[in-house]
Amino acid sequence: MQRTTQAERAALALDGGTPVRARLLPYARQSIGPTEVEAVVAALGSDWLTTGPRVGEFEQRFAEATGARHAVAVSSGTAALHVAMAALELREGDEVLVPALTFAASANAALYVGARPVFVDVDPGTLLVDPLDAARKLGPRTRALVAVDYAGQTCDYAVLQSFCAASGLELVSDACHALGALDELGRVGTLARLNTFSLHPAKHITSAEGGVVTTADGELASRLRTLRNHGIDTDLAQRERTGAHHYDVARLGWNYRLTDLQCALGSAQLAHLEEFVARRAHLATRYAQALERHELVRPLRRRPGAGHAWHLYVVQLELERLRADRDRIFRALRAEGIGVQVHYRPLPLHSLYRERLGTRAGDCPVAEAAYQRLLSLPLFPGMSDADQDDVLHALDKVLEAYRA
């Protein structure tokens, strides 16, 4: 048997050494068990594959899980943001404040309805939207603010609610990272007039693809249901129950329906939400303890009073103490079998917004500086403590190799 030497094990895999893990540990992964499989099989054997009774059942359970009065299921987190903007009747010429450090959907939803996203910088410690910069970017055409619960930590909704009320703005919570979090003001899903969620496999629960909008406003909920179904005033299940065929296209809408198959999966996943969030919190605590006094990497700051659902565990590299940039560290860790990721490249730097909106480097300097240092470490409920130890071992191995 060929044996590896201590020197070979110490050498970075990027340079031909032995990797910490032979098989890549992803940054995120869904957790699917027998109850989910049984629920989907039962749906397959039913009379309804889409737009049936399981949609309403899932929406009711989601509303109960978040404390919301109404939950409206749609086909993706992006669709959730789109119908939220449309339900608020935003239109051409309106402006929407959007944090620079988020996924493209947070801004694209404004573009879909003809509005213009205006990018707001973030707090350097938490990477949550900076209310002071939001106030600086406020203009006469500003109609709404999108609050992104980055990595799973809730924004300062007390401040944002007050700011929006004083400025006449609609507050939309992009809570796609934060399902299951409890803020000092209440549960995520109740903190804004409209609250949007993603059910992508990387998120806390999944329906394969899917999204949800929650609201306390019954009129808005009705409008959302119409918008997700081509703008039609009733769905097929409602017409079947009443034996009717007539329907009316009341407004311009889209085919953003979530299927009964997906809702069967989503309902089964919801039963494990607390367990999944607790496991994420356990792993986050272990990361925090291991990295508390680390000289080469810095976890994000926790905001006092914030809730956290730990979608991501994001750290910032102390580049001043390293002989490599973030991209080199990224490649080295992936070579070690650790599937780190970067969340996100600031939106003003992307070609679409440069060309359409005229954004440029320097628009949001805090977000841009943070981007150069960001790494998301693997974090998901099915990850074992031993898996996490591999992450920490690889992180130390790589960072020590590049210590200045």
Sequence-distant (6+) residues with CB within 8 A of 327 are none
pLDDT at 9 over 90: no
Could you report the per-residue pLDDT of 323-379, keeping only the tens digit for each? Answer: 999 999 999 999 999 999 999 999 999 999 999 999 999 999 999 999 999 999 999
3-state secondary structure of 136: helix
Asked whether 179 and 207 are in contact (CB, 8 A), the reply is no
Interacting residues of 262 by C-beta distance below 8 A, sequence separation 6+: 199, 207, 208, 209, 210
Give per-residue burial for 336-374: e unless 16+ CB within 10 Å, then b.
bbbbbbebbebbbbbeebeeebebeeebbebbbebbebb
Closest by CA position to 209, among listed 265, 254, 152, 253: 265
Write down how long the chain is. 404
Q: Is the dihedral of CA 48, 50, 51, 53 positive or negative?
A: positive
Is 203 assigned a catalytic role?
Answer: yes
Report pTM. Answer: 0.95
Does the pLDDT of residue 322 top 50, yes or no? Answer: yes
pLDDT attached to residue 166: 98
Q: pLDDT class for 3, splitting at 50, 70, 90?
A: very low
**Of residues 54, 177, 203, 308, which has the active-site annotation?**
203
Between helix 218-227 and helix 77-87 the angle, nearest 10°, is 120
- Would you call 236 exposed, middle or buried from its count of C-beta atoms within 10 A (0-12, 13-18, 19+)? middle
Gap between the Cα atoms of 25 and 383, Å rounded? 9
Stretch 42-47: mean pLDDT: 96
pLDDT in tens, 267-281: 999 999 999 999 999
- 77 and 176 Cβ atoms separated by less than 8 Å: yes
Choose among 323, 339, 311: nearest CA to 395: 339
CATH architecture of structural domain 1-30+77-198+272-404 = 3-Layer(aba) Sandwich (3.40)
Q: Is the pLDDT at 217 greater than 80, yes or no? A: yes
Distance between CA 173 and CA 340 in Å, rounded?
27
CA 80 – CA 211 distance, rounded (Å)? 6
| pLDDT score of 190 more than 90 | yes
Instruction: Taking residues 10-23, report their average pLDDT.
Output: 96
Phi and psi of 276, rounded to 5°?
A: -65, -45
Instruction: Render pLDDT for 197-208 as a digit per residue (tens, 0 to 9).
Output: 999 999 999 999
User: DSSP labels for 296-311?
Assistant: SEEEPPPPTT--B--S
pLDDT for position 247: 85
55-108 confidence digits (pLDDT tens): 999 999 999 999 999 999 999 999 999 999 999 999 999 999 999 999 999 999
pLDDT digits (tens, 9 = 90+) for 218-265: 999 999 999 999 999 876 666 566 666 768 898 999 999 999 999 999
pLDDT of residue 10: 82
